[in-house]
């Protein structure tokens, strides 16, 4: 009997995934446990293993296609075996454009998995009931995707606007042809989208699909290459835009004397071979940030509606450069871990990021982020917040430069610290105190060894 290849749930809040590419073609022989395709959820790409020995009978979701979790994306069976079409009835997939709200609605009907998929504040739930908003159609912008009041208001406004700007016949046609209503220009009264407008969009889409794949000329310029915005890069586009639109970001800088931190790191790596400790500057900085965030919890916070949530957990995200963009794996409860444990976890996360072995939960739950561009010889920069976090610390290269100490010019080892924070939550003076405390630990890292 044919075996289903299922879209896995690679994280507790994940509701859909995208097939990046199939590693096998229909008709190929596969073995149980062998990687058969690559799947992407949010910023993570990982391999799906074959559930059985046999032949890849059918690929249901093609490269680039999306599917809800637990749905069927392919079938494996014996040579010559026919695929029962009824077995595929539950797949319910759609290439590049699956309706996430519809997925959540169906998950909610299933019971436990749906309950975990929708997180909402009490005020937002009450407002949704008053305004008749379907929660399954709302995208949450609060911590960990939680739905807050502004999300309900936005959903209600969009529903009213969408309903009024397109005729019922035009809407049905657009949905059947998978057309984006938001990209259409209406010719009806008040710009309302009519049947003729949808037909025009259909014709334009057909013309584009049959156009030769040549570099288009744009005025006096010729396009060398067109790069689609999708996958990791699409998530970065959305997150960075969201960050700048929804927060009041302020960046302040301080120069720190890094000589003692350099010496501290060197001393940890000396001594008998079985006692030497290898730690990176990032591990030391994470430990420093964890300590300061405990001392000044206002920076370890998020905004939800009209409330500021101060988090008990100190979860430090560390920006890692990978081939497709930037990933920020998270070290959870960093304030409860020593330097050696932090370094081991850093090494593990970095390796998993570069080999695409991370799972979505490795990227979730961060309360503050560290980004270090010193390895690229960058001395100072302005980091952008990673929503819904309140702060991010940017660290530059440690450089030798002339400094004045006790009235004498000497050669010092200096490092720039750039703190970007949400000015709605933390005032400039609060940000200054936080950064000054970080600098104090950088200049006297031995204080980390104190309880």
Secondary structure E strands in 306-444: 307-310, 316-318, 320-322, 325-327, 330-331, 368-372, 391-395, 399-405, 408-422
Rounded Cα–Cα distance for residues 396 and 277 (Å) = 24
CB 318 within 8 A of CB 331: yes
CATH code: domain 118-182 is: 4.10.320.10
Residue 173 CA: distances (Å) to CA of 41, 137, 170, 194: 30, 21, 5, 10
Q: How far apart are CA 341 and CA 70, in angstroms?
A: 35
Any idea which fold 233-449 has? Chloramphenicol Acetyltransferase (3.30.559)
CA-to-CA distance for 328 and 321, rounded, in angstroms? 9
- Residue 250 host element (H or E): strand 249-257
Structure tokens at 103: 């997925």
Cα–Cα distance, 302 to 354 (Å, whole number): 29
**118-182 and 3-100 share a CATH fold:** no
| Cα–Cα distance measured from residue 140 to residue 162, given in angstroms and rounded to the nearest whole number | 19
Does the model's pTM come out above 0.95?
A: no
Domain locations in the chain? 3-100, 118-182, 233-449
Under CATH, which number does the domain 3-100 receive?
2.40.50.100
pLDDT 10s digit of each residue in the chain, 451 long?
788 999 887 655 567 888 888 999 999 999 998 999 988 876 677 788 899 999 999 999 998 888 888 889 999 998 888 876 655 544 444 434 444 444 444 444 444 434 344 678 777 888 888 878 878 778 888 776 778 888 888 888 777 665 556 777 777 787 777 777 767 777 777 677 888 888 888 877 776 655 555 555 556 677 778 777 766 677 677 778 778 888 899 999 999 999 999 999 998 877 666 566 789 999 999 999 999 999 999 999 998 888 899 999 999 999 988 776 778 899 999 999 999 999 999 999 988 888 878 887 888 889 999 999 999 999 999 999 988 899 999 999 999 999 988 889 999 999 999 999 999 999 999 999 999 999 999 999 999 887 5
Distances (CA, A) of 442 to 317, 401, 417: 19, 17, 10
Instruction: Dihedral sign for Cα 10, 16, 19, 20, please.
Output: negative
Alpha-carbon distance 18 to 43, whole Å? 11
Q: Which of the residues are catalytic? A: 423, 427
Nearest CA-CA partner of 343 in 430, 414, 276, 409: 276
């Amino acid at each position: 009997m044919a075996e289903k290849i299922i879209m896995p749930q690679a994280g507790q809040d994940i509701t859909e995934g995208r097939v990046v590419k199939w590693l096998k073609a229909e008709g190929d022989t596969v073995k149980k446990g062998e990687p058969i395709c690559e799947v992407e959820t949010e910023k993570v790409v990982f391999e799906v293993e074959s559930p059985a020995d046999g032949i890849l009978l059918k690929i249901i979701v093609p490269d680039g296609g999306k599917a809800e979790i637990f749905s069927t994306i392919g079938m494996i069976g014996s040579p010559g075996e026919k695929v029962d079409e009824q077995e595929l009835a539950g797949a319910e997939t759609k290439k590049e454009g699956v309706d996430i709200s519809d997925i959540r609605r169906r998950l909610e009907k299933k019971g436990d998995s749906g309950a975990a998929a929708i997180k909402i504040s009490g005020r937002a739930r009450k407002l949704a009931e008053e305004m008749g908003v379907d929660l399954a159609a709302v995208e949450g912008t609060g911590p960990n995707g939680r739905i807050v009041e502004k999300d309900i208001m936005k959903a209600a406004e969009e529903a009213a606007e969408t309903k009024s700007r397109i005729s019922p016949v035009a809407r049905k046609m657009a949905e059947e042809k998978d057309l984006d209503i938001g990209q259409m220009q209406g010719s009806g009264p008040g710009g309302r989208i009519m049947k003729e407008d949808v037909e025009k969009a259909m014709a334009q889409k057909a013309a584009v699909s049959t156009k030769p794949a040549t570099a288009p000329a744009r005025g006096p310029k010729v396009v060398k290459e067109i790069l689609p915005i999708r996958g990791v890069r699409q998530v970065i586009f959305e997150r960075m835009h969201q960050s700048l639109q929804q927060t009041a970001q302020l960046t302040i800088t301080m120069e720190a004397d890094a000589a003692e931190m350099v010496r501290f790191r060197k001393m940890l790596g000396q001594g008998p071979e079985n006692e030497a400790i290898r730690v990176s500057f990032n591990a030391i900085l994470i430990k420093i940030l964890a300590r300061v965030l405990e001392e000044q919890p206002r920076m370890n916070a998020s905004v939800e509606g009209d409330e500021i949530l101060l988090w008990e957990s100190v979860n430090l995200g560390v920006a890692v450069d990978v081939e497709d963009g930037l990933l920020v794996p998270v070290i959870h409860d960093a304030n409860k871990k020593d330097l050696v444990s932090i370094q081991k976890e850093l090494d593990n996360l970095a390796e998993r990021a570069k080999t695409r072995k991370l799972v979505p939960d490795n990227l979730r739950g961060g309360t503050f982020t560290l980004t270090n561009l010193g390895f690229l010889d960058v001395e100072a920069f302005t980091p952008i917040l990673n929503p819904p976090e309140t702060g991010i610390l940017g660290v530059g290269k440690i450089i030798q430069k002339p400094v004045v100490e006790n009235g004498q010019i000497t050669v010092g080892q200096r490092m720039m610290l750039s703190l970007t924070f949400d000015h709605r939550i933390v005032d400039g003076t609060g940000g200054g105190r936080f950064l000054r405390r970080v600098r104090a630990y950088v200049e006297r890292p031995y204080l980390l060894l104190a309880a």
